[in-house]
Structure 1
Amino acid sequence: MAHTAPARTGPPTTHHPAVPAKLALPVLAGIVYGLWTSGIARHAGPITGWNVLLGVISALAFAAAAYGIHTIAPRLPRELGAAVWAAFAGISFGFIYSLSDAGVLKTVGLSLVITAGVLAVVFYRYHTTED
């Protein structure tokens, strides 16, 4: 005698596998960024509470900004979306590089180079993958 499962009544359940995947990359990148920030800020000295706090705050800020940009960039015009990603990359790099006690002009100059490179790459990607 074969038994069948009762028919489902009610709305189907929706499973959104894209949400954890969309969140995973910013979280992992934030962890790496926070560890990197904390490591550079110690200047090869002992680990202190301030280093750990700086790393945690940097990780949270980086992950939140990356997730926010990842969420809003597709809704922006291509040029603005590319500019937002470029600014994020330049600012992120500039902050990390400034922790290494580099000069202000060198930090700003390298950050602008990183920003221009990311702008070119993301702008090209947006224009070659148009719908």
Structure 2
Amino acid sequence: MSGRTANDRRSWPPRRSLDFFGRRAHLVGRWAVPLAIGLVYGYWVAANRRDGGPITGGNVAYGFVTTIVFTLVVGAMLTVAPRLAREPHAALWGLVSGAALGFLMGQSPGASPLQVFVVALAFALAVGLIVFYWEYTHEDARGRRAD
């Protein structure tokens, strides 16, 4: 027995409230979310590259290297993009999205380089336009973000 009683408040540590959306949670989420998406992306790239063949050590290593690079690129984009004006912000999102899709498609054995380029460019333009529209409609009259 500890010798503490329910009425003896000085011996109990102070209670902290749970803060799910605090600074620490955002710091963890800033890298946990890109890492989770990167793991899925790395697995997908490795699966496309092996084209239904056996899983090899090189294939697994390729998937993990892709995961690390993708996580770093997306993490950097999520850090830098909010500091940019709406046009470069949209262009950065379009560039990263198009490059990611192009790289993913390029790992498939049957995809031609022209097909990969056209689809990735179309996707990059679509994402860039969507992000530009989002940024444009979420700012005040002076062009500042209306967070």
TM-score, normalisation: structure 1:
0.88
Structure 1: gaps (5+ residues): 9-13
| 1:52-99 CA-partner distances (Å, limit 9, x unpaired) | 111001110001100000001011111101101110001010011011
Give the letter aligned to residue 123 of structure 1.
F
**Aligned residue among 104, 107, 122 for 2:131:** 122
Q: Give the structure with the larger helix fraction.
A: 1
SS at match of 1:46: coil
Change (3 A) 1:5 1:77: farther
Structure 2 match to 1:87: 95
TM-score, normalisation: structure 2:
0.79
Q: Pairwise CA RMSD of aligned residues?
A: 2.0
Determine the C-alpha separation between the residues in 1 that align with 2:78 and 2:11.
Answer: 41
Structure 2 match to 1:4: 10
Structure 2: gaps (5+ residues): 1-6, 15-21, 140-145
Determine the C-alpha separation between the residues in 1 that align with 2:80 and 2:11.
Answer: 43
Instruction: Report the structure number with the largest CA radius of gyration.
Output: 2
Give the letter aligned to residue 4 of structure 1.
R
How many residues are aligned here? 126
Determine the C-alpha separation between the residues in 2 that align with 1:15 and 1:33.
Answer: 27
